[in-house]
Amino acid sequence: MIPITDTDSAASSPVSAPKERLPRHVAIIMDGNGRWAEQKGMPRIEGHRRGVEAVRSAMEACRELGIEVLSLYCLSSENWKRPKEELDFLMALLCEYLIGERDNLVEKNLKLRILGRQDRLPPEVQAEIKRTIDACAQNTGMTLCLAINYGARAEIIDACKSLMRDVASGQLNIDDIDEEHLDARLDTSGLPEPDLLIRTSGEMRISNFLLWQISYAELWVTDTHWPDFDGAKLNEAVRDFSRRKRRFGGL
């Protein structure tokens, strides 16, 4: 039995659940940074800065629970429509996070994986991504996936193009293509599918995140804006997940 305790909230009672009742892969749409800042009379960018603290809190809570994979939606391919000032800040903040968190990821035995098309990211961001991935290469613990310049439709298109190239070159028979072949070409190849998808800030949308992978994920939405999301909230979501009965289309 795995004890699930709200370490950030003494009023919440601990819950015990068999390990098989816990999610292997938790995916989070981190929403509400800007709204959090605006409600407090702060610039939007301050919400993003405070959101980094929530990333650390969620990461540590998942690690303590024995979650195998944590995927965080950091920047969608649609977010490039935002003001340049905000995007420049996000890129600088990402570099700051990768540099500042690198030793902690190594110490905590976490692996790092990036989801999304990295070629559009500034060279300095790509360089820090590579350095952090390399630093974590020998780690064997939880995998942290950061979705940066990510869009699920683009990911699926890229996977289909990869399969088509192999068919055209004669390496693959078109009639042999199945779900496993496509899954192997996705950014999440080799990882378990998300069992639990969390969205903060109360929005009831998937927003083009892991569309293929979340086919049977349990959804959990909270009105809490991302900067206020902490280990207690993560445990609340996992506790709720552990009580659900997953049928996968059966009875």
Residue 6 lies in a domain: no
Condensed to tens digits (0 to 9), the pLDDT of residues 188-203 reads 999 999 999 999 999 9
Give me the domain span that covers residue 109. Answer: 22-240
User: What percent of the chain stands above pLDDT 70?
Assistant: 93
Among 8, 33, 79, 175, the active-site one is 79
Alpha helix ranges (H) inside the chain? 33-39, 44-65, 84-107, 123-135, 152-168, 179-183, 231-243
Predicted TM-score (pTM) of the model is 0.91
* 8 has pLDDT over 60: no
β partners of residue 113: 145
Separation between Cα atoms, residue 62 and residue 181, nearest integer Å: 30
Of the pLDDT bands very low, low, confident and very high (cuts 50, 70, 90), residue 46 is very high
**pLDDT confidence tier of residue 144, bands split at 50, 70 and 90:** very high
pLDDT, the chain, mean:
92
Tell me if 225 is assigned to some domain.
yes
Q: What is the mean predicted confidence (pLDDT) over 169-173?
A: 97
> Which carries the bigger pLDDT value, residue 209 or residue 14?
209
Residue 129 inside a domain? The answer is: yes
Please say whether the dihedral angle defined by the alpha carbons of residues 78, 81, 83 and 87, taken in this order, is positive or negative: positive
Question: Which pLDDT value is given to residue 19?
Answer: 85
- Residue 15 covered by a domain: no
Residue 205: the pLDDT is 95
Q: How confident is the model at residue 246 (pLDDT cuts 50, 70, 90)?
A: confident
In a domain, 7, yes or no: no
Q: Rounded distance, CA 211 to CA 195, Å?
A: 13
* 152-167 mean pLDDT: 98
Residue 81's pLDDT is what? 87
CATH number of the structural domain spanning residue 170:
3.40.1180.10
**pLDDT at residue 248 greater than cutoff 90:** no
Annotated active-site residue 149? The verdict is no
In a domain, 50, yes or no: yes
Which three-class secondary structure state does DSSP give residue 110? coil
213-229 pLDDT, tens digit each: 999 999 999 999 999 99
- For position 219, what pLDDT does the model report? 98
Kindly state whether residue 5 falls inside one of the protein's structural domains: no
State the catalytic residue, choosing from 6, 8, 31, 33: 31
Mean per-residue pLDDT, 109-128? 96
The reply to whether 1 falls in a domain is no
Residue 109 annotated among the catalytic residues of the structure: no
Best CA proximity match to 7, nearest among 243, 242, 235, 237: 235
- Domains identified in the chain, total number: 1
